[in-house]
Structure 1
Amino acid sequence: MAGEIPLGAPIWVDSTTPDLAGDTAFYAGLFGWSARDYGEEFGHYTELLLGGDGDEGRSVAGIVPGEAPGRWHLSFHVADCEAAAARAEKLGGAVVEAPAEVGGDMKFAMLADPNGAEFGLLQPIGEGPGFKAYQEPRAASWFEYNYDGVPAEAMRFYADLLGWSVVVPPWTDPKDPRPYAALSAEGGKGEFGG
């Protein structure tokens, strides 16, 4: 599945939480997800799965112990994590965690956009990590960015960095000074958020 996710599109989402057991149980009850804890070696990073907790389970998200308040982090698919992080800095973003190889199956960096919103860049290595269930019931399917201003202006950074198409949908009120913007990867294919 990760190989089918277009470059620039969301490829993974995970959450930090001060209550790993409680939050894992909450999402299991809400969505029917199961969990696979990778143990102390990986900081008890827990993969959330759709369709079972064995090999039949398909990855939908991750959750890991962290400080309060818990937060969700979205990562985007890139071909070259180092090059994308360097480009993000040139575009006005900041590197929060430098690109590094993780677990032998990905390169990852955490960045902040010019408005301070944090996001990840993820370059799979081989089969690599990423959504194994995506845009289907009980899996991640739509992502929103909240901005107090004109959304298309805030999205220029991502369009330049990740090749997004940012379009004001025809159903948006033309008199609205801050119209909604729809986001898609690869030249308008694969709409994933707004």
Structure 2
Amino acid sequence: MSEISSNQPLGTPTWIDLGVPDLDRAKAFYGALFGWEYEERSAETGPVTLCLLRGRRVAALRPVSAADVEGESWWQPYLATDDCDAAAKRIVECGGAVVVPPSERAGLARTAVVADPVGARFGLWQGRTLPGCELVNEPGALVRNDLASPEPGPARRFYATVFGFTLDGNDDLPDFDFTFLRRPDGHEVGGVFGDPAARASRWQTVFEVADTDELAARAVVAGGTAATPEDAPYGRMAALTDPFGTSFSVITRPPAD
């Protein structure tokens, strides 16, 4: 378990949100899955539903039109910055693009939505009154974000240049094209997975859960889908989709030594 009360260092995945065409159905699904409760907020970019775990904010849902979620849908991560406007400018200079310009979000943060040179979208989060997810690495909360791309090379160079990440191989996955992203202080923030079969470059979100098999069954009952859980080097995982086709994963990690 990790409680977060201050803004994270540059480039740290610090917040997640999801656009949904039916807010009530989304709240029911994720509430059944993770035990989330909800807090409604108004923002310049529209209403925001904050997702709460044990009273702490861990994610957000945004109402969008059905047309906006046609095709693949994914949770969107936000990377920390202490200057959203300057970070957005640097992203453009390094071959990325600004999708939604910087703006204030309900007094919580200054945010922007951007895209890297291979088309993967992510957000920038300059915390005001909310540093980002207030709980991580515990059941019902964010544990990891990784980028899957058919073009991993340009993506790796981009994130290393913009955020100062170092790029390290992964000896645990010798058969996969996977590179760790680490902050200058050595902290691992995620990774880039080269997947020639990927239809597009996407940031993928993984949630911690207490029992992967039980939660996968619960997701189906709640109106989603679940692949067969499998053991992976870092825990037991399953790929899920919500009732709108949004893809994400869950993991039960072994107890820490």
Equivalence map 1:18-97=2 (5 Å): 18-38=21-41, 43-51=46-54, 57-68=55-66, 69=69, 70-97=73-100
2:193 corresponds to 1:193: no
2:178 corresponds to 1:180: yes
- Residue 149 of structure 2 aligns to a residue whose secondary structure is coil
C-alpha distance in 2, partners of 1:8/1:146? 17
Q: Whose strand proportion is higher, 1 or 2?
A: 2
C-alpha distance in 1, partners of 2:27/2:148? 26
Work out whether residues 163 and 186 of structure 1, in 8 Å CA contact, stay in contact via their aligned partners in 2.
yes
C-alpha distance in 2, partners of 1:128/1:4? 8
1:147 maps to 149
CA drift of 1:171 comes to: 2.3
C-alpha distance in 2, partners of 1:99/1:164? 23
Unaligned runs of 5+ in 2: 192-257
- Residue 148 of structure 2 aligns to a residue whose secondary structure is coil
1:169 maps to 170
Unaligned runs of 5+ in 1: 52-56
Alpha-carbon RMSD: 2.1
Are the structure 2 counterparts of residues 102 and 40 from structure 1 closer, same or farther at C-alpha, using a change threshold of 3 Å? closer
1:128 maps to 130
Paired letter, 1:193: G
Work out whether residues 6 and 131 of structure 2, in 8 Å CA contact, stay in contact via their aligned partners in 1.
no
CA drift of 1:84 comes to: 0.7
Work out whether residues 41 and 106 of structure 2, in 8 Å CA contact, stay in contact via their aligned partners in 1.
no
C-alpha distance in 1, partners of 2:163/2:43? 34
TM-score of the superposed pair, with normalisation by structure 1: 0.85
Alpha-carbon displacement from aligned partner over 1:133-183 (angstroms, at most 9, x marks no partner) = 01222210111211114x35422211111122221112232xx5x621122
Paired letter, 2:94: L
Question: Percent of counterpart pairs with the same letter?
Answer: 38
CA drift of 1:12 comes to: 0.6
1:54 maps to none
Work out whether residues 17 and 71 of structure 1, in 8 Å CA contact, stay in contact via their aligned partners in 2.
no
